[in-house]
Structure 1
Amino acid sequence: MEKRKLAVGDLFNLQSVTDPQLSPDGKEAVFVKTHIDEEENKYIANLFHVDVASNEVTQWTHGEGRVSSAKWSADGKQIAFLSNREEANQVFILSARGGEAKKLTSFEKGVSSFLWSPCGNEIWVNAVVKESKTFTDKEEKDDKKKSEPYRVTKMKYQLDGVGLLPQDTFRQIGVVDIATGDVTQFTGGNHQHTLHAVSHDGKKLVIGVNREENQDYEFRQPLYIVDVETKVETVLIDEDGYYGGAKFSFDDRFIAFVGSDRKLQNATHSDLYIFDTEDSTRMNLTESLDAPLGDNVVADHQQGAGAPSVVWTRDNYLYFQVSTMGDVRLYFATLEGELYPATPDNEHVYGYAISADGEFALVTVSDAGNPGELYKHVIATGERETLTSFNKTYLEEVELVEPEAIVYKGAKEWDVHGWLMKPAGYEEGQKYPLIVEIHGGPHAMFANTFFHEMQLLAAQGYGVLYVNPRGSHGYSQEFVDAVRGDYGGGDYEDIMTGLDAVIAENDWIDTGRLGVTGGSYGGFMTNWIVGHSNRFKAAVTQRSISNWISFFGVSDIGYYFSDWQIGADMTDVDKLWEHSPLKYAKNVETPLLILHSEKDFRCPIEQAEQLYITLKSMGKETEFVRFPDADHNLSRTGTPNLRVARLDEITGWFAKYL
């Protein structure tokens, strides 16, 4: 059967398989499958069950909302999960032997996270409480509530995806009795608490809380071990940086957690730490590994993909993700500091669960030609068994392009890694246009994973080049830090040198039909490129930065991110302006399409407005498309019809000019 070309509307055909959770005995598991309902214009995620021995897969929930964060009780008899079937996320409990799910919580603002108590009779929850209120206080509802002024007294007052932050609410931790539904609040005070772990004996919690009154320049959340009975706190870590994902070993002696200090601000690699509760010592288990822990991939298919920071086995071995050389691999470590990869290269392990005996893992895996499925992976031999095939029919019907990995010398003669895709239906001897894609972050990475947008461009007859310039994760600490203070310098050179390298090696590339696009940092770089080069015949900038001076005051992160990344604040506007693409607007000769979400608080839409009006006033070829009710994550998690419209705008612009 002849395969068809991939289309924009394939967003509605693809299935996302995420979040595998093994039962305590390792004989069964649950996971979440998400699809997009085109008619309803929304994402639908339901819980599925798999028998690990027979590979039989059964759908367990059938709601029209989204299920997430499934977790087994310690005895394996029940599964709790979050569901937004009644708007706010609430905890539901389902018997492992079947039946209807029981709603456990009814918090007005929903539950942000939860953990089982080992006894199986209680569930610990993290939820929002109004100042001077408790979980059990009922709020009076006012259907005629009027708009009120919003008084700003803090610098951290807005957040992308949220908007203006509530000023009188705080995340607290409580425990819910499953039999009665009664809630007992555990934490208090006007502080934001995070629930990280419950010990296997149920006597200890790991929580995060920063009790400093002024949080404007607080970029830390200390972790504490708390005695459940006495509430006495022991410091796990109280240092500048980002730490979390704590897990107790099976014997409760050790606590593993991940995090990064702030030596290089947000460019610092994350590491795995072990705390010994017997002697209160802490060690960095991955200090010798020059790559970051976790999943730093940018892509556009997987929905709600999350993975544990670290998982223990009963014999005190640990498993965790590492982003390395365009892959996300599962790694294995011993308490003595031995480190080994546990999964192969050339793939993206975006979710995993480990059997308690360490014999096998359940992994959700994607690569360039596979949107992602669930597999059983035998640790010792590397053998794999396919457990789901939700995208099998799709892959049999649709032609996908396999990217070619490339390595070339960038600025300072450093190796730069990337990929080149030929157009779908490529024929030897023909000439084709090429589009350069640039990722955001900048501390993120393109990877060996399925990317609908890349495949769409290839399906429409374009070659696609995407690289990981300096600043990208997955390589050395020196490499990821090298972009800071040098936006538009070595990173620009890395991208343009990569373009030169593929042109020199591929005579099918039509150098008269080159395009460039990117979002966030990739939008900044697109703006920078068209202000410094006329090589491209068309460009599309998305959710971009154009003016670092105004960005400082309007972005939810601007007042500190500008200093971290550019090395300047409002006391050095000359440097901010020097790195602002808007300064070079007069040089732009490339037709530029500007795409921006109206509710983007990360790179606010005024960045696009300034760029558009400036270019238009100079008589440049430009258009501006605004996406209502969309935030910074439009391309990944935005309302489906707007995601389709965005892709149509991109492909339409390139069709017009290339």
Structure 2
Amino acid sequence: MTTNGLSVQDLFEFSFLSDPQLSPDGKWVVFVKKVINEKEKYQSNLFLMDVDSKEITQFTQGNFSDVQPRWSSNGRYIFFVSNRSGEQQIWNIAFNGGEASQVTTFKRGASQPVLSPDGKKLIVTVPLSAADSLEEKETKKEKTEEKLKPYITTNLQYKSDAKGFSDETFDHLVLIDLETGTQSLLTDGQYDHHSPAFSPNGMHVAYSANRSEDPEQTFFSDIYQVDLTTNGTEKLTSSDKRFYTPNYSPDGTKLSLLGDDLEYTGATLTRVWILDFATKELSCLTSEWDVECNDVAINDMGSGAASAGAVWSKTNDALFFLASELGSTSLYQVTLNKNITKVVGGKRQVYAFSTDKNQERFVYAVSQSATIPGDLFVSTLSGGDEQRLTAVNEHLLQTKTLSVPEDFHFKANDGTELQGWIMKPVGFKEGETYPLVLEIHGGPHAMYSHAFMHEFQVLAEKGYGVLFMNPRGSHGYGQQFVDAVRGDYGGIDYDDVMVAVDYALENYDWIDSSRLGVTGGSYGGFMTNWIVGHTNKFKAAVTQRSISNWLSFYGVSDIGYFFTEWEHKTTVIEDPEELWRISPLRYAKNIQTPLLILHSEHDYRCPIEQAEQLYVALKQQKKPTRFVRFPESNHELSRSGDPGLRIIRLDEITNWFDAYLK
């Protein structure tokens, strides 16, 4: 069967848009466009668009990573982060063009530029060790032969999937006077500091940090405020909640915050809060609204962006924020008296937004199932006259036939309403039957959505139907739904995905029940492993960056020591028998389904020993299996990993299913 759907190789042709920033006057938007260059590596540059004419100009050039663009308050300059000097540093460039100039030269780089309202000062985030000084400059590193040294630590958290082994640095906030070049450190100690924000008069800075005696064992995050005239720092919250992304109201009397009270640990809904400076009172504006106030939708187009938090209306009486509900991420407004309205909605993922100084326009980035991998739109506050600004992948998509996901609702075994999506194979013909692949998302506290998924389109192009859904544990359906899986992995979630398969088989007569496949990554890899140990319904399976043994996961994962307790409500020390009961490895003797195991060598979230244990257990039993190890890659391979390895990964998945389901 020849089709003209999206192929594996088409990944190289995509452009990935993120971080749109509207100019103060609302006439221009700067955004990041990432592409895969001729060397099969990522390249990110800044692009400028005239919002009225929709004319786009490439603003920065070269094979670099230019990201995090931010306008000066007068609109004359754009500050951004670039690795063009070797390390990631802050640069700026005049809006009317010219050469970019380097602003910072910190030894370990800098990121997250935040400009003061008068444009004269800049706060940046800088990794510093206890021995570092601000004066130490970035140097071109010569490759020298270094003696082998052991890695030594006394920390509980000594590695992370994002950064590898800890280098004992912490993120600190540095204030830079742009007129004199003077640099001053706003934070101290062995703590990480995040999300700085200037007060409207430029005299105060708020930020979030966990500065407790034992940050490795406590998971709250407080809000602090530093007075730039006295250098005095005040703690504004009481160490019993997780708060982040503070934003000052235009009149300077309040802060908006995103956060939660950890009541359901990692499954607690993020909500919108305000802190009143006069009364020191915290109030939650979305406490009566059973919705996650964040974008938690999954896509594989690398279109995530740092959260803007809850952005104030210019009238000081409302906030704008993203929230995830029923498989969509939309832009909402909440007033100070808790009235919530949808500003920009639809069956899609809105993954970033920005507004101009007068809030006459919103620019936002959208991903939508079969039509928009990631593009920019503009609308007014009322959301009534949306215009599409970009169509960066149209040259590719208009030559392709895409499978359009249809969402459907069905009942779980206990009567709970569930949501799923089904995609027909490209080239579908009535009266013929086709194999079906069930995809299971990671998290588990995330959400499949109406966003674009290249991987799903690749499967459809290869002649597979694709089924995906949000089982218990997923976001989008309220607090009780997302919490239901805690303490019940392999229970209610397994029931939900199997009911989805049964529903699809009953309602779509084109599915061949003898040719079913299953795949998933991370938690979805755990579920894949669990499924093949408990049923022979599937004829082939692919497990990715998976968990097979919760006993060893506890000690080897960068989050294992707390994630295990949060999600399973026990630990290796308290109840090792329970962790073994819910470990797929325990059921390896039951596995008959041919299982492809994909894993990254540098995955510290679900370390590769999880794959090794399962592979050896299957291989020793002479069960059909294959083990693919991806070098120099971490847990994020499928979303932001090396492009060439992403291609190999997709080929491995489709070849495995072709061998057993065709």
Q: 1:24 to 1:502 in 2, by over 3 A?
A: same
Note the C-alpha offset of 1:639. Answer: 0.5
Deviations 1:339-388 (A, max 9, x none): 10111220110111123333331111121121121111223252211211
Give the distance between the partners of 1:207 and 1:434, measured in 2 at CA. 48
Select between 437-446 and 224-233 the one with higher mean Cα deviation.
Answer: 224-233
Q: CA deviation at 1:77?
A: 1.4
**Shift in CA distance, 241/114, structure 1 to aligned 2, threshold 3 Å:** same
Give the alignment partner of residue 632 of structure 2, picking from 629, 633, 653: 629
* C-alpha spacing 1:107/1:498, structure 2 compared with 1 (3 Å): same
Q: For 2:534, give the aligned amino acid.
A: H
C-alpha distance 47-138 of structure 1, shift in aligned 2 (>3 A): closer
Instruction: Measure the CA separation in 1 of the matches of 2:477 and 2:97.
Output: 46
Amino acid at match of 1:157: Y
Within 5 A, what are the aligned runs for 1:295-374? 295-316=295-316, 317-369=318-370, 370-374=372-376
After TM superposition, list the pairs within 5 Å mapping 1:405-420 onto structure 2. Answer: 405-420=407-422
Shift of 1:266: 0.4
Which segment drifts farther, 67-76 or 169-178? 169-178
Secondary structure of the residue that 1:412 maps to in structure 2? coil
**Which residues of 2 match residues 150-549 of structure 1 at below 5 A?**
150-167=151-168, 169-316=169-316, 317-369=318-370, 370-549=372-551
CA distance in 1, matches of 2:485, 2:190: 38
The alignment status of 1:640 with 2:639, answered yes or no, reads no
Letter in 1 for 2:585: L
Instruction: Give CA deviations for 1:631-653 in whole Å, capped at 9, x if unaligned.
Output: 00000000000100100100000
Aligned pair 1:20/2:20, yes or no? Answer: yes
1:7 and 2:7 aligned: yes
Moved more, 85-94 or 472-481: 85-94
Match of 1:61 in 2: 60
Look up the SS of the partner of 1:657 in the other structure. Answer: helix
Residues in 2 aligned to 1:517 and 1:240: alpha-carbon distance in whole angstroms: 38
Q: Determine the structure 1 residue equivalent to 2:585.
A: 582
Q: SS of the residue aligned with 1:127?
A: strand
Q: Tell me, in whole angstroms, the C-alpha distance in 1 between the residues paired with 2:388 and 2:138.
A: 49
Mean Cα deviation higher: 527-536 or 352-361: 352-361
Deviations 1:6-32 (A, max 9, x none): 110111111112111111122222111
| Structure-1 separation of matches of 2:324 and 2:151 | 41
Equivalenced residue count is: 655
Work out whether residues 545 and 611 of structure 2, in 8 Å CA contact, stay in contact via their aligned partners in 1. yes
**Cα gap change, 1:545 to 1:97, in 2 (>3 Å):** same
Instruction: State the secondary structure of the residue aligned to 1:48.
Output: strand
CA–CA separation in structure 2 for the residues paired with 1:463 and 1:3: 14
CA distance in 2, matches of 1:601, 1:166: 15
Deviations 1:312-361 (A, max 9, x none): 22112211000000000000111121110111220110111123333331
2:338, 2:585 → 1: CA distance? Answer: 49
Q: Let me know the Cα RMSD of the aligned residues.
A: 1.6
Deviates further, 603-612 or 247-256: 247-256
Aligned partner letter, 2:343: A
Whether the 8 Å contact between 2:4 and 2:426 is mirrored in structure 1 is no
Q: Aligned partners of 2:219 and 2:51: how far apart in 1?
A: 42
Give the Å deviation of 1:654. 0.2
Structure 1 letter corresponding to 2:46: L
1:626 CA drift (Å):
0.5
Contact 2:203/2:227 (8 A) holds in 1: yes
Aligned to 1:84: 83
Q: What amino acid maps onto 1:574 in structure 2?
A: E
Deviation digits for residues 241-269 of structure 1, max 9, x if unmatched? 43111111111111101011211000000
- Structure 2 letter corresponding to 1:624: F
Q: Does 1:125 align with 2:128?
A: no
CA deviation after TM superposition for structure 1 residue 100, in Å: 1.3
TM-score under structure 1 normalisation? 0.97
How far 1:96 moved relative to its partner?
A: 1.4
Deviation at 1:290, TM superposition (A): 0.4
Q: Deviations over 1:69-102 (max 9, x none)?
A: 1111112111101112223211011111211111
Partner of 2:105: 106
- The more displaced of 491-500 and 304-313 is 304-313
Q: Secondary structure at the match of 1:383?
A: coil
Q: Which residue matches 1:592?
A: 595
Q: Using the TM superposition, give the Cα deviation of residue 138 of structure 1 relative to its aligned residue in structure 2, in angstroms.
A: 5.2
Q: Give the Å deviation of 1:5.
A: 2.0
Which amino acid in 1 is paired with 2:583?
Answer: S
Aligned counterpart, 1:612:
615
2-side partners of 1:304 and 1:478: how far apart? 26
Question: 2-side partners of 1:202 and 1:381: how far apart?
Answer: 31
Q: Which amino acid aligns with 1:569?
A: T
Q: Secondary structure at the match of 2:147?
A: coil
Q: How does 1:548-587 map to 2 (within 5 A)?
A: 548-570=550-572, 571-587=574-590
Question: 1:541 Cα shift?
Answer: 0.2
Distance 1:3 1:372 in 2: 24
The whole-number CA distance in structure 2 between the counterparts of 1:381 and 1:583 is 53
1:518-549 residue CA offsets vs partner (Å, 9 max, x unmatched): 00000000000000000000000000000000
SS, match of residue 398 in structure 2: helix
Instruction: Quote how far apart the aligned CAs of 1:51 are.
Output: 1.6
Aligned 8 A contact 1:80 1:92 in 2: yes
- SS of the residue 2:344 aligns to: coil
TM value normalised by structure 2? 0.96
Aligned residue identity for 1:148: K
Counterpart secondary structure, 1:429: coil
Q: Say if 1:105 and 1:181, in contact at 8 Å, map to a contact too.
A: no
| CA distance, structure 2, for counterparts of residue 502 and residue 379 of structure 1 | 40
CA contact (8 A) 1:410 1:416 kept: yes
1:397 positional shift: 0.5
1:480 is displaced (CA, Å) by 0.2
| Distance in 2 (alpha carbons) for counterparts of 1:9 and 1:464 | 19
Q: How far apart, CA to CA, are the structure 1 residues paired with 2:383 and 2:440?
A: 37
Q: Which has the larger displacement, 453-462 or 9-18?
A: 9-18
Q: Aligned partners of 2:302 and 2:629: how far apart in 1?
A: 25
Q: Secondary structure at the match of 1:230?
A: coil
| Residue identity in the other structure for 1:99 | G
Quote the Cα distance in structure 2 between the aligned partners of 1:146 and 1:119: 49
- 2: CA distance, partners of 1:138 / 1:425: 58
Contact residue 68 and residue 304 of structure 1 kept, 8 A: no
Deviations for 1:553-598, whole angstroms, at most 9, x for unmatched residues?
1111111111111122112110000100001111101000000000
In 1, are the aligned partners of 2:72 and 2:119 still within 8 Å (CA)?
yes
Kept in 2, the 8 Å contact 1:258–1:272? The answer is yes
